[in-house]
Structure 1
Amino acid sequence: MTEINCQSRATVLSGVALMCLGVACFGVNDAIAKVLADRYSPMQILFMRNVLALPVALLLALGFQGHRALRSSKPGVHLVRGVFWILATFLFFTSIKHVGLAKSTALLLASPLLIVAVSAVFLKERTGFNTWVVVISGLLGALIIVRPGLAGFDPLALLALLAALMAAFLMLSARWVDETESFWTLMLYLTASSALVSALAVPFFWVPLQVRDLILFAGVAAFGTAGMVLMTQAFRLAPATVVAPLDYTALLWATLFGWLFWNEVPDLITYIGAAAITLSGIISALQANEGK
C-alpha cells in the first residue's frame, strides 16, 4: 500500500512539474512574440509559428499513435477550432504589443470563467448561485483591470478580454470533436487548420523576413508546442484540481519578463484585478471538481 501511495504521489508531483514547465514555456512563447510584434504583424507571427510547428506536430502524432492520428471523422470541426485559435492568439499578441505582458495575461486568464458563463447562457447548462458569484467576481476583476470610463482606461486592453472569449469558444468547441480522437490528433489538426487559416490571411500582412528573426520564429513554434504538450500531459498525470490552478503562474512569468525586458511594472489596480481573476478561477476549478 505504501509503495502504491508513493508511486501515486510521485505521479502527481510529475504532473505538477510538467504543468509549471508548460506554463513557463508559454510565458517564453509570449515574450518572444512581443519582441517579434515590433517588426511583424501578429498574423505573420502566427503563420510562421504554425508552419514551423506543423512538421513537429506531425512527427509527434505519427511517433506516438501512428497513422491513426491522421484520421478524423469531423475535419470541419477542427477547421472551426483553428479559426477560434487564430482569433484568440491574434487578439492576444496584438494586446501584448500595446498593453503589456502582465496586464494582457491577467485578462486572458479570465477564459475559464467565460467558459462557465457561455455554457450557462448559450448552452443552457445548469449553473448554481455560488458558481455565478465566483464567475461575476472574476469578471469584475477583469473590469477593474480594463477600467472602462476611468482615466486609466485603455481600449486596447479589451483585445485581451476578447482573446479570452475566443479561447473559451476554442475550449467549448472541443465538445464537438469525436471523443475517440486522441490528443495527438487534436494537436495535429489544430496546428494544421491554424496554419491553413493564417495562410489565407497572411498575404494582407506580410512584410519581408529578416534572417536574424528566423531563430525567434523557431522559438515561438518550439516553446508554444512544448507548452501545449507538457500541460496536456500534466492533466493526464495529476487531478485537474491540482494542476489547473497552476495555470495562473503565467502571471508570474508575464510580470517577470515584462519587467526584465520592457520595464513594464503593472500598477496596484491591475494587481487587484488580477488577484480577483486568479482567486475566482481557482475556486471555480474546485467547484467544478466537486460537482463531478
Structure 2
Amino acid sequence: MTRNLALLPVLATFAAVGSLALMDALMKGAALAAGVYSATLMRAALSAAMAAPIWLGTGGRWPGKRALRLHLLRGGVSACMALTFFYAITALPIAEAIAISFVAPLIALYLAALVLKETVRREAVYASILGFAGTIVIVSGRLGQGDAGDDTVLGIAAILVSAILYAVNFIIIRLQSQAAGPAEVATFHGGVSAILIALAAPWLFVMPGWPAMADIAGAAVLTVAGAMLLAWAYARAEAQVLVPIEYSGFLWAVLFGWLFFAEQVTVTTLLGTGLIVVGSFIAARRKRAV
C-alpha cells in the first residue's frame, strides 16, 4: 500500500508532462496564427480564470507573505519563460525545442548550490559536460541544415534563455508547493503571469481569431491541469525523484509534433537528447545514492 502511494506523485508527474506537451502543440498553432505575445497573454489570463473558481471553491484564502512572495517570483519568471519558449517553438520543431530545454535540470544543480547552498558533486560536473555536449550536437545539427536562417538562430537563443528560466522555476516550485495548495499555485501562476505580460498589451495585443482562441482555451485547460498535478506531486516527493520524469516530454513532443505539424526528428536531435538525458540521470542517481 505504501509503495502504491509512493508511485502516485510519479504517475501525476507523467500525466502533467503529457498535458503540458499537448499544450505546447496547441500553443504553437495559436502563436503562428495570432502571434506569440497575444497567444501567451490569453493563455495566462484564461488559465487564471479557470483555476480561480477551483481555488475559491475549496476555501481559498489570500496567501501569507511567504507564499505571496513565491507566487510573485514564479509568476514573473514564468511570464518571461513562456514568451521565450513559445517564440522558440514557432521557429523550431517542438521536439528540438524540448530537447534543448532539457539542460534546465542540469543548470538547476548549480542554482541549487547557489541558492540552497548545496554542494556541487563531481557527478554533477560530469553530467553538465554531457548536457552541454548534447546541446551543442542539437544546435549544430539545426544550424547545419540548409534552411537555417535568422529565425532559427533567434529560436535557439530563445529556448536557451527559456531553459535558464526553467531551471530557476525548478527551485521556486519546490518551495512554492510546500507553501500553498495546487489550486492556489495554479491560480497565482496564471494570474501573476497575465498581469505582467499585459503591461505591454496597449502596444502589442491583437485579439486572436476563433480558431486560435479554441487552441488557446484548450492550452489553458491543460496548463491548469499540468500546474496542479505538478504542485501536488512536488509537495509529496523530492525534486530529484520527479525531475528525471521531465524527459518523457521528448516522446510526447515527438508524437504531437508529428501529428499536428508533420515534424520529423533528426539523428542529431536524438543523439543530443540522449547525451543530455544520460547526464541528468547520472547526476540524479548518484545524488540519491549518497
Common fold by TM > 0.5: yes
**Following superposition of structure 1 onto structure 2, how do residues 207-222 of structure 1 map, counting pairs within 5 Å?**
207-222=206-221
**Aligned residue runs from structure 1 range 11-26, under 5 A:** 11-26=5-20
Could you tell me how far apart the structure 2 residues matched to 1:76 and 1:234 are?
21
Partner amino acid for 1:285?
A
Residue 24 of structure 2: aligned partner:
30
Quote the offset at 1:111 in angstroms: 0.8
Q: CA 1:263–1:108 in structure 2 vs 1: closer, same or farther (change >3 Å)?
A: same
Which moves more between the two structures, 206-215 or 81-90? Answer: 206-215
The unaligned stretches of length 5 or more in structure 2 are: none
Asked if residue 100 in structure 1 is aligned to residue 93 in structure 2, the reply is yes
Q: Deviations over 1:146-183 (max 9, x none)?
A: 12996347422221111010111233345776964444
Instruction: Give me the whole-angstrom Cα distance separating, in 2, the residues matched to 1:241 and 1:173.
Output: 14
Per-residue CA shift, 1:185-244, capped at 9, x if unaligned? 333322221011111123332223212332211101001111122233334556655543
Q: Is the 8 A contact 2:71 2:189 kept in 1?
A: yes
- CA change 1:150–1:194 in 2 (3 A) is closer
- Give matches, 1:187-202, under 5 Å: 187-202=186-201
Name the aligned partner's letter for residue 129 of structure 1: R
Determine the structure 2 residue equivalent to 1:264. 263
Letter in 2 for 1:37: A
- Aligned-partner SS, 1:38: helix
Cα distance change on mapping 1:178 and 1:142 into 2, 3 Å: closer
Q: Which residue of 2 aligns with 1:254?
A: 253
Report if the CA contact (8 A) 1:22-1:227 is conserved. Answer: yes
Give the TM-score taking structure 1 as reference length: 0.85
Q: Does 1:72 align with 2:67?
A: no
Q: Name the CA distance, whole Å, in 1 between partners of 2:114 and 2:230.
A: 29
Distance 1:79 1:251 in 2: 29
Aligned counterpart, 1:133:
126
3-state DSSP class of the match of 2:263?
coil
Q: Is contact 1:11–1:237 with CA below 8 Å preserved after alignment?
A: no
Structure 2 equivalent of residue 110 of structure 1: 103
The answer to whether the Cα contact below 8 Å between 2:40 and 2:86 also exists between their aligned partners in 1 is: no
Identity %: 27
CA distance change for structure 1 residues 202 and 275 in 2, over 3 Å: closer, same or farther? farther
Q: Is contact 2:48–2:188 with CA below 8 Å preserved after alignment?
A: no
CA change 1:15–1:175 in 2 (3 A) is: closer
Question: 2:13–2:233: 8 Å Cα contact kept in structure 1?
Answer: yes
**Which moves more between the two structures, 227-236 or 20-29?**
227-236
Distance, in Å, in 2 between the alignment partners of 1:235 and 1:119 is 16
Specify the SS of the correspondent of 1:22: helix
- 1:69-100 residue CA offsets vs partner (Å, 9 max, x unmatched): x2230445533322211111111111111111
Change (3 A) 1:88 1:265: same
Q: Could you say which residue in structure 1 is the equivalent of 2:163?
A: 164
What SS does structure 2 have at the residue aligned with 1:37?
Answer: helix
User: Is the 1:60–1:184 Cα contact (8 Å) retained in structure 2?
Assistant: yes
Once the two structures are overlaid, the 10-residue window that deviates more, 91-100 or 73-82, is: 73-82
User: What secondary structure sits across from 2:34 in the alignment?
Assistant: coil
Name the CA distance, whole Å, in 2 between partners of 1:43 and 1:280.
Answer: 34
**Whole-Å separation in 1 of the counterparts to 2:179 and 2:83:** 30
Change (3 A) 1:256 1:76: same
**Structure 1 contact 112–168 (Cα < 8 Å) conserved:** yes
Number of residue pairs matched by the alignment = 283
**Greater mean deviation of Cα atoms: 26-35 or 129-138:** 129-138
Cα deviations by residue, 1:95-148 (Å, 9 ceiling, x for unpaired): 111111000001112111111133446776421222111122112211211129
Cα shift at 1:29:
0.1
Work out whether 1:44 is the aligned partner of 2:33.
no
